[in-house]
Amino acid sequence: KAGVTQTPRYLIKTRGQQVTLSCSPISGHRSVSWYQQTPGQGLQFLFEYFSETQRNKGNFPGRFSGRQFSNSRSEMNVSTLELGDSALYLCASSRGTGTGSYEQYFGPGTRLTVT
User: Which residues here bind another protein, judged by CB under 8 A?
Assistant: 31, 33, 35, 42-45, 48, 50, 55-56, 58, 90, 92, 96, 102-109
Confirm if 81 and 61 have CB atoms less than 8 A apart: no
Closest approach of Cβ 45 to another protein, in Å? 5
Report d(CA 103, CA 115) in Å as an integer.
35
Report d(CA 2, CA 25) in Å as an integer.
9
Closest approach of Cβ 17 to another protein, in Å? 26
Residue closer to another protein by CB (options 55, 63) is 55
Report d(CA 66, CA 39) in Å as an integer.
23
Closest approach of Cβ 5 to another protein, in Å? 11
